């Protein structure tokens, strides 16, 4: 078993749309969200797959700009997530591994329905479940 710290940075989740707040005005809206996750987790040996469980602090930066009508500006929100997933290390050399990773996070607070009470929250909500995949390289000593 290994205890590890795993930071994760998302690309922007964005949405662009137009609507008519009145018959003569068209609002062009651009909403965006970017999350940073700091996870503390345990990785367990279980054959070829290495299950991962842990907890994560989630910091989200969100913004919503409606051109020609209003500007909700930007703000940040914070939350906690339960982390689960698996690593699948592939050995390339005696101490060198390529590791595909998959994570599922159940997020509370940041990016969930808790922020749906305002237009900026409605447009930038990503929901309670986050799926992340990636790859890393590990060197064992």
Which domains can be identified in the chain, with CATH numbers?
A: 2-139 (2.40.160)
Report how far residue 26's alpha carbon sits from residue 94's, in angstroms, rounded to the nearest whole number: 62
Report how far residue 137's alpha carbon sits from residue 30's, in angstroms, rounded to the nearest whole number: 36
Instruction: Give the mean pLDDT of the chain.
Output: 85
The two tokens of residue 86 are: 């698996």
Q: What is the pLDDT of residues 21-46, one digit of tens each?
A: 788 888 888 889 898 999 999 988 87
pLDDT mean over 82-109? 92
pLDDT at residue 113 is higher than 80: no
Q: What's this model's pTM, rounded to 2 decimal places? A: 0.75
Sorting pLDDT into bands at 50, 70 and 90, what band is 81? very high
Element (H, E) at 121: helix 119-124
């Amino acid at each position: 078993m290994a205890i590890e710290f795993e930071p994760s940075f998302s690309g922007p989740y964005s949405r662009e749309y137009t609507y008519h707040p009145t018959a003569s005005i068209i609002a062009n809206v651009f909403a965006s969200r970017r999350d940073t996750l700091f996870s503390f987790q345990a990785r367990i040996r279980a054959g070829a797959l290495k299950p991962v469980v842990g907890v994560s602090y989630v910091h989200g930066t969100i913004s919503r700009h409606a051109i020609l009508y209003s500007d909700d500006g930007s703000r940040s929100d914070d939350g906690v997530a339960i982390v689960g997933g698996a690593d699948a290390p592939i050995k390339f050399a005696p101490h060198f591994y390529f590791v595909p990773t998959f994570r599922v996070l159940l997020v509370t607070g940041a990016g969930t329905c808790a922020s749906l009470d305002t237009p900026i929250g409605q447009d930038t909500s990503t929901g309670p479940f986050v799926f992340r995949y990636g790859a890393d390289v590990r060197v064992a000593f």
